[in-house]
Amino acid sequence: MLTMRGITKEFGGVSALKNVDLTVEAGQIHALLGENGAGKTTLLNILFGMPVIRATGGYRGTISIHGVPFSPKDPSEALAAGIGMVHQEFMLIPGFTVAENVKLNREPLRHASLGRVHPSLHILDRPAMAADTRQAFTSIGVNVDDWMMVAGLPVGHKQFVEIAREVDKHGTKLLILDEPTAVLTEVEAAQLIEALRRLAARGLGILFITHRLDEVLACASQISVLRDGELVACLPAAEASLRQLAEVMVGRPVERQPMPPRGTVTGASLRFEGFSVEMPGERVTGLDLEVQAGEILGIGGLAGHGKLGIANGVMGLYPARGQVSFDGEPFRLGQPIEALSRRIAFLSEDRRGVGLLLDAPIDYNLAFTSMNIEGRFLKRPLGVPWLTWRDSRGMRTHAEALISQLDIRCTGPDQAVRRLSGGNQQKVCIGRAITRQPRLLFASEPTRGIDVGAKSLILDLLARLNREAGVTIVITSSELAELRRICDRIAIIYRGRLARVLPPDASDADFGLAMAGRPPGGDL
Amino acid sequence: MNPRLLKPSPRTVPRLIIGAFVLGLLVLAAGKQLPVHLLISDSLVRTGMNGILVLAMVPSIQAGLGLNFGLPVGIICGLIGVLIAVEANVSGLAGLALSVAAAVPLALLAGSVYGRLLNRVKGQEMMVGTYLGFAVVSGMCVFWLIAPFTNPILIWVIGGTGLRYTTSLRHLFGGVLDNAWAFSLWGVKVPTGLLLTFLLACLLVHCHSRTRGGMAMHAAGQNPAFATASGVNTAKARIQGATLSTLLGAIGIIIYAQSFGFLQLYLAPLMMAFPAVAAVLIGGASTRQVTVGNVIIGTLLFQTLLTISLPVAQAVIGSDVTEVIRLIVANGTILYALTRLDGGGQ
């Protein structure tokens, strides 16, 4: 029914999709698997005619529906062609009832005399709306009351309302679900999969996007796997195994970075017991993990499973609970000052939002935390003990030293960091961390948004900081290959907890399975 | 503030337009045979008179609270300080000092309460500040009627209770700063004491922004997430900014009153935040970035414009359109700045 041939898409010279072929048959549930950044969302955006695609230069390749060529310029064309989309974020109006949401803008009308003035003045035919809604829910086999307010519904039911809306649209032939189970409980997910099966049995084509391996095997009839924008596998579900899927999803060549010899360990250890962090979208729920003094520990896992929450929780930026000990001593959670005063440094994943004062110069960015915590780079001009003053010269000298040590490409210490490239901005962040003479450094997504050449420079800096200065480093990254390049051990986080700790040379399949929350060697 | 952070941007546009307009008016005034030296004298007095009220915008913007439209909160504290000095009948510099001494604790208290309120309405500080200012001024109208002051020059002649709308400070400390070390140069009378007071206040605010606390406050304003991650208590920094701004508002109105020669109560403070806001914006500040230099240039330009536009307009058009021009310039500038909230951004 849907055929995509040779789909290629570039964003500013970086290719996001390379020659992807995809076919969805009527009555088939087709699962599209891939890590974060594999190109799943880009493919959907092309299919749905999202404006971002045209704004960035369009795509190459052909799409056809029932043999008719199709190249949507905006989402309304995709809707007209019979493509229904269930979004990751719910596109529902909370203050409307279920029926009003399902029938929104397609309401059956009763003619009223005012309607002659303008069609929008006709009256809604509420009994007909309710009947249509009930029929849509019957066809997906769930029971949601049509008169309920959407605001009060459980998350799973909201998802069903979205599906019912797409089903109710006459002419929906292909239903696309973008990670529909990400927010659902296991019971709700099972219910959803059941509903999808019913819809497929009625002849709808379903394209189901996810990174949960077990669900794919439970419901799909055909499975495609994307990796780095390429279609690396396309096979019937009956022939696939969990281990095989895990391997193709994460597998890519890994080259181990040559590491400098290990010097004296000055870093501290950190131990988590029942550690939980309330970070929206990255919740940690009861983590048990030990970071050994002087090692580089990698933290990996899929987006949304909580790997980013760990560092943010320790740094006191989000509410956290549980037992944490730093060098064997108890560590107080919830206050940034505790982590900072114990010389824990942090490179935030949100470099421009949290990591830098964009409009301030380099020297100020480098010195600020040390100045605020330890009172460095301050002088007492009048000899009064309580009157402390910015030591501009000291800041400048320090900045000049770091600029040459870290090779920060800039016009001088007084350049605003906004004007620097991503890699150099990250070096400024590392410089500020080094200024604190840290005993433990959290580096969250240290190479995100940095071009390939600068990536290895940043990783090399971190490796040297660990091996030469002996600092304990915890790197959190979505790029497994990068963790395997420099880490001593890699902890994989699944649903807010530790799934496994693996050596960097473990097999692709082991990493893939751990990310899917499966025991080693396990299969269905 | 660091001059390195002052970079050319669309924020300089109002400064250039108003600057050109002021120059044009001066040329016109000279052409119409108006007493230019008197106009300049008046401009200098009005600059010194309003300067500290404009300066009150600096800590507020630095702490990330935006422009302090709640300036009347500080102004009320300053008015109470003056009332206390008048009630005690202290004249000269001592009276001025007593006013300030009485106003400071009130302003510190009111400012910290104001800051705590603003912490509850993050993102809407300017709107909440505007209406808080209106509410406080209106509420204080009741206080002025029942306040326990007894000095006959303060209270209504008939009836004997309640404070007057306007009280003359002429015999107490009206003009003490204006006349201190004042001298004339080419017919221009320079109010040395007044200008020095303004510049001293500017220097203190500038120095504060170089201290540890001032830098922490500024970081909290520029990027709260960064400041928190560096161990700054952003809630406290914002309270600090609101308190300092309120304090400067209180001192500012005392300096204003001594120069004006009258103490104005009731609805007089209602709109006082607006000219101060307009002046700092004309000087090149945005709702997120400001320097003391913006304050000095902005006050000078805005007040000179107001002073000379009246006689020039009268001479050229033949009718009084000053009030109209003042409103167009003040509110137009505020509108311009608020529509480009990220004036300092990319």
Distance of alpha carbon A79 from alpha carbon A75, whole angstroms:
6
Kindly report each contact of residues B95-104 with a partner whose C-beta sits within 8 Å and lies 24 or more positions away, as own/partner. B95/B172, B95/B173, B95/B176, B96/B173, B96/B176, B96/B177, B96/B254, B96/B258, B99/B173, B99/B254, B100/B251, B100/B254, B103/B77, B103/B78, B103/B250, B103/B251, B103/B254, B104/B247, B104/B250, B104/B251
Assess A394–B contact: CB distance below 8 Å, yes or no.
Answer: no
| Among the listed residues A280, A184, A212, the one whose alpha carbon sits nearest the alpha carbon of residue A36 | A212
Percent of chain B with pLDDT over 90: 44
**Residue from the list A360, A390, A416 with its beta carbon closest to the beta carbon of B210:** A390
CA distance linking residue A103 with residue A123, whole number of Å: 14
Instruction: From A19, A87, A96, A17, select the one nearest A56 (Cα to Cα).
Output: A17
- In the numeric block, which tokens belong to residue A32? 């599209």
The nearest CA of chain A is from the CA of B294 a distance in Å of 17
Least confident of A31-35, A148-152, B10-14, B269-273: B10-14
Q: For residue A359, what pLDDT is reported?
A: 87
Check whether A498 has a pLDDT greater than 60.
Answer: yes
Q: Find tokens 């990310």 and name the residue.
A: A515
pLDDT at B6: 45
The complex's ipTM?
0.79
Alpha carbons A261 and A258: distance in angstroms, whole number: 9
Q: Nearest CA to A257 among A504, A4, A508, A8?
A: A504
**Residues of chain A contacting B346 with CB distance shorter than 8 Å:** 418
Binned at pLDDT 50, 70 and 90, residue B30 comes out as: confident
Which amino acid is residue B16, in one-letter code? L
First-residue to last-residue Cα distance in chain B:
20
As given in the structure block, the two tokens for residue A400 are 């000049």
Instruction: Determine which of A66-80, A162-176, A337-351, B148-162 has the lowest per-residue pLDDT on average.
Output: B148-162
Number of separate helices (H) and strands (E) present in chain A: 17, 24
> Which positions in chain A touch B231 (Cβ < 8 Å)?
336-337, 340-341, 369, 372-373
pLDDT of residue B3: 46
- The verdict on A74 touching B (C-beta cutoff 8 Å) is no
**Between the ranges A33-42, A210-219, B92-101, where is the mean pLDDT highest?**
B92-101
Nearest to A361 among B4, B207, B222 (CB): B4
Residue A468 in contact with partner chain B when CB distance is under 8 A = no
Q: How far is Cα B295 from Cα B66, in angstroms, rounded to an integer?
A: 15
What is the band of A296 on the pLDDT scale with cuts at 50, 70, 90?
very high
CB pairs under 8 A between A and B: 72
**What is the per-residue pLDDT for B345?**
37
pLDDT of amino acid B2: 47
Residue carrying the six token digits 């010269």: A393
Cβ distance B228 to A373 less than 8 Å, yes or no, reads no
| A366 contact B CB<8A | no
Mean predicted confidence (pLDDT) in B238-261: 94
Residue A361 DSSP class: B
Q: How far is CA B323 from the centre of its chain?
A: 19
Contact B219 A353 (CB under 8 A): no
Percent of chain A with pLDDT over 70: 97
Report how far residue A72's alpha carbon sits from residue A81's, in angstroms, rounded to the nearest whole number: 9
**Across chain A, what does the average pLDDT equal?**
85
Judged by a CB distance cut-off of 8 A, whether residue A388 touches chain B is yes
Q: How far is A356 from chain B (nearest CA, A)?
A: 6
Which one of A335, A338, A354 makes the best mutation probe of the B interface by having the most chain B beta carbons within 10 Å?
A: A354
Question: How close A415 gets to chain B, by Cα (Å)?
Answer: 9
Coil/strand/helix, residue A102 = helix
Token pair belonging to A349: 């994943």
Q: Which residues contact B224 (CB under 8 A, 6 or more apart)?
A: B64, B234
Give the gap in angstroms from C-alpha B46 to the nearest C-alpha of chain A. 33
Distance CA B284, CA B9 (A): 9
**B60-114 pLDDT tens trace:** 999 999 999 999 999 999 999 999 999 888 888 899 999 999 999 999 999 999 9
Cβ distance of B229 and A354 shorter than 8 Å:
yes
CB of A374 within 8 Å of a chain B CB? The answer is no
Query: 10 Å Cβ neighbour count for B192?
Result: 17
Of B225, B231, B232, the CB nearest to A353: B225
Q: Which helix (H) or strand (E) holds A66?
A: none
With 80 as the cut, is the pLDDT of residue B47 above it? Answer: yes
What pLDDT, on a 0 to 100 scale, did the predictor assign at position B5? 44
| Chain B partners within 8 Å of A360 (Cβ) | 5, 222
Beta pairing class for A284-291 and A296-300: unpaired
pLDDT in tens, A281-292: 889 999 999 999
pLDDT band of A253, cuts 50, 70, 90: low
pLDDT class of B10 with cuts at 50, 70, 90:
low
Residues of chain A numbered 8-67 and touching chain B (CB < 8 Å): none
**CA gap A489, A513 in Å, rounded:** 17
pLDDT at residue B56 in the model: 95
More confident residue, A347 or B343: A347
Q: What are the CA-CA distances from residue B313 to residues A225, B23, B31, B32, B196 (Å)? A: 76, 14, 13, 11, 31
List residues of chain B with CB under 8 Å from any CB of chain A: 2, 4-5, 207, 210-212, 215-216, 219, 222-223, 225-226, 228-232, 289, 344, 346
Is A336's Cβ below 8 Å from some Cβ in B?
yes
The 3-class SS string of A118-152 reads CHHHCEECHHHHHHHHHHHHHHHCCCCCCCCEHHH
Residue whose entry in the numeric block shows the structure tokens 């919740």: A283
Of A336, A354, A389, nearest to B211 by CB-CB distance is A389
Average pLDDT over residues B237-243: 95
The C-alpha of B9 sits at a distance from chain A's nearest C-alpha, in angstroms, of 13
> Which residues, 6 or more positions from B7, have their beta carbon under 8 angstroms from its beta carbon?
none
pLDDT at A305: 86
Of B242, B245, B306, B253, the closest CA to residue B278 belongs to B306
Closest-CA distance of chain B to residue A355, Å: 6
Secondary structure (H, E, C), A379-410: ECCCCCCCCCEECHHHHHHHHHHHHHHHCCCC
CA dihedral (A7, A12, A16, A21) in degrees, to 10, reads 10
- pLDDT surpasses 90 at A33: no
| Angle in degrees, CA A501, A506, A510, rounded to 5 | 75
Q: Which of A217, A253, A212 is nearest to A238 (CA)?
A: A217
User: Given an 8 Å threshold on Cβ–Cβ distance, is A357 in contact with B344?
Assistant: no
pTM for the model? 0.77
Sign of the CA dihedral A147, A150, A152, A154? Answer: positive
Residue A353, pLDDT > 80, answer yes
Residue A361 Cα distances to A375, A420, A426, B66, B121, angstroms: 19, 10, 14, 22, 30
Q: Do B231 and A337 touch (CB under 8 A)?
A: yes
Once rounded to an integer, what is the mean pLDDT over residues A108-118? Answer: 82
Nearest to A355 among B226, B228, B231 (CB): B226
Asked if B162 and B143 touch (Cβ cutoff 8 Å), the reply is: no
Res. A312 pLDDT band, cuts 50 70 90: very high
A204/A184 Cα distance (integer angstroms) = 23
Amino acid, res. B80 = I
Interval A311-328 mean pLDDT: 92
The answer to whether the CB atoms of A357 and B219 lie below 8 A apart is: yes
Other beta carbons within 10 Å of A327: 15
Please state, as a whole number, how many other Cβ atoms lie within 10 Å of the Cβ of residue B342.
10
Alpha-carbon distance A29 to nearest alpha carbon in chain B (angstroms): 44
Q: Which of A348, A360, A375 sits opposite B229 (nearest CB)?
A: A348
Q: Is A361–B211 a contact, with Cβ atoms under 8 angstroms apart?
A: no
- For the record, the structure tokens of A97 come out as 């009832």
For the stretch B206-232, pLDDT in tens is: 999 888 889 999 999 999 999 999 989
pLDDT value at residue B11: 66
Q: Are A361 and B346 a contacting pair at CB < 8 A?
A: no
How many Cβ atoms sit within 10 Å of the Cβ of residue A23?
15
Per DSSP bridges, beta strands A29-33 and A222-227 are: parallel
Tell me which residue in B4, B223, B231 faces A373 most closely, judged by beta carbons: B231
Judged against a pLDDT cut of 50, whether residue B344 lies above it is answered with no
Phi, psi of A391 (to 5 degrees): -95, 85
Nearest CA in chain A to B288: A359
Asked if A359 and A411 count as a contact pair (C-beta separation under 8 A), the reply is no
Nearest Cα to B241, choosing from B68, B54, B53?
B68
Q: Do A371 and B215 touch (CB under 8 A)?
A: yes
pLDDT higher than 90, residue B136: yes
Contacts of B46 (CB under 8 A, 6+ apart): B303, B304, B306, B307
A435 in contact with chain B, both atoms CB, cutoff 8 A: no
What is the rounded distance in angstroms from the CA atom of residue B103 to the CA atom of residue B247? 8
Tokens 């400071």 locate to B104
Distance CA A422, CA A416 (A): 13
What pLDDT shows up at residue A88? 67
pLDDT-derived band at B200, boundaries 50, 70, 90:
very high
Cβ proximity of B322 and B269 under 8 Å: no
pLDDT value at position A523?
46
User: Contact, A107 vs A101, CB < 8 A?
Assistant: no
| Tokens, residue A306 | 């909580």
Q: Is A89 helix (H, G, I), strand (E, B) or coil?
A: coil
